[in-house]
Amino acid sequence: MKVFNSLILPIYLSKMVVMEMTVVTIRLDKGGIRLQITKAPYGKVNGEDVSLFTLTNQLGMTVKVINYGGIITSILVPDREGNLADVVLGFNTLDQYLAEHPFIGALIGRYGNRIANGRFVLNGEEYRLAVNDGAHHLHGGVVGFHKVLWRTKEVRKAEGVGVELTYLAKDGEEGYPGNLTTTVTYLLTNENALVIDYTATTDRPTVVNLTQHSYFNLQGEGCGDILNHEIMINASHYTEVDEGLIPTGRLVPIEGSAFDFTKYKRIGADLEKVGIGYDHNYVLDHPPAELGLAARVREAKSGRVLEVFTTEPGMQFYTGNFLDGTLTGKSGRKYEKHSGFCLETQHFPDSPNRPEFPSTTLNPGEVYRQTTIYKFSCS
């Protein structure tokens, strides 16, 4: 599926340094197309510098990323009138990101979602992981990829600008085997698409399941709940879960149920039928490992539309059920329940303990690869 057009054009680079801020401007010599990267100080963690990268395209869409946790702090996109709004939840300061919060904007690894009882067996050997979600392991553990400092490199391509983040997770970190080298690239294109490419390699057999945990609100961050957003999910089954949100192993048809989003439906239409909200993995219908449509979300007032494409077999649809008003966002407003939704492309939860699910095992000599695209437009 073609989701953006590459521009094969000459590239001219100019660079200047002003007050510790590096500005890199890329000009493509046709049509006045301009993309820009800026890098600015964002504080320190354990004496090491944290940087804020700002990516801007010709349409004014802006993505901001910090190398602590690979966190997306802001995405500015236009509405149907051309007015920009920040459509992801987040904070104004590094201290707020260093404090406890529900993975807002962060890269997730070494294993996204849950592993039952914090254990799995690989090649006959049992591994015990950090337990941080009741009796279970969630999103990489206590100090997962969301709480580490990533090495960075600016990315310049004909179709966009971005930042490449790299992290070495050492053997035994959070209980996982193998030294795992992970690289994640955020690339902003001139078609208002944020392309996220993930790769990873290991020196011992291990398990890997990477994802991105931004909370979206297409009205704008701090503008109320997302229950009137309409969503379509390209899936005919979901992975049934128990009370601890651990898969039972059953892939359940969604047709006619509260989980059915095969056609546009308000997020809040059947919410009361699924308890406090959606926090479920959808089994995507596109061919395995091929880039395909996962979901499409639209918001009537602004006209904003978000499309998600991925090579992953699953996507966690989460409706911010555990936001409770204790966190104050960038706008100065409290983040109440259902203030944002997440579309976390992934392999299925607890796959290391479910041999019937697509495998998340990565062996030496292999390369883990995943691509997810968040593309914005207006209707």
111-157 pLDDT tens trace:
999 999 999 999 999 999 999 999 999 999 999 999 999 999 999 88
The strand ranges marked E within 287-336 are 292-298, 304-310, 314-318
**At 210, which CATH number?**
2.70.98.10
Helix (H) or strand (E) holding 256: none
- pLDDT at site 63: 98
Which tokens belong to 234? Answer: 């390209």
Q: Is the pLDDT of residue 11 over 80?
A: no
Q: Supply the pLDDT for residue 30.
A: 36
**Burial letters 115-151, b for 16+ CB under 10 A, else e:** bbbbbbebeeeebebbbbbeebbbbbbeebbbbbbbe
Q: Which of 308, 322, 311, 70 minimizes the C-alpha distance to 212?
A: 70
pLDDT confidence of residue 213: 98
The pLDDT of residue 14 is above 90: no
CA distance 330 to 222: 8
Determine if the pTM surpasses 0.85.
yes
Residue with tokens 């401007």: 25
Instruction: Give me the amino acid identity at 42.
Output: Y
Gyration radius of the chain over CA positions: 20
User: Confidence class of residue 158 from pLDDT cuts 50, 70 and 90?
Assistant: confident
pLDDT reading at 18 higher than 90: no
Catalytic residues: 213, 344
Confidence band (pLDDT; 50, 70, 90) for 84? very high
Residue 23 has pLDDT above 70, yes or no: no
Average pLDDT over residues 46-68: 96
Query: How many percent of the chain have pLDDT more than 70?
Result: 91
How many Å is the maximal CA-CA distance in the chain? 59
Distance CA 231, CA 279 (A): 15
User: Percentage of the chain with pLDDT > 90?
Assistant: 89
pLDDT band at 33 (very low <50, low <70, confident <90, very high): low
Q: Total structural domains in the chain?
A: 1
Show the tokens assigned to 217: 């609100």
| AA identity, residue 300 | A
Whether residue 2 has pLDDT greater than 50: no
Domain extent at residue 265: 1-379
* DSSP tag of 234: -
**pLDDT tens digits for 181-228?**
999 999 999 999 999 999 999 999 999 999 999 999 999 999 999 999
Sign of CA dihedral 185, 187, 193, 194: positive
Can you tell me the mean pLDDT for 321-327?
96
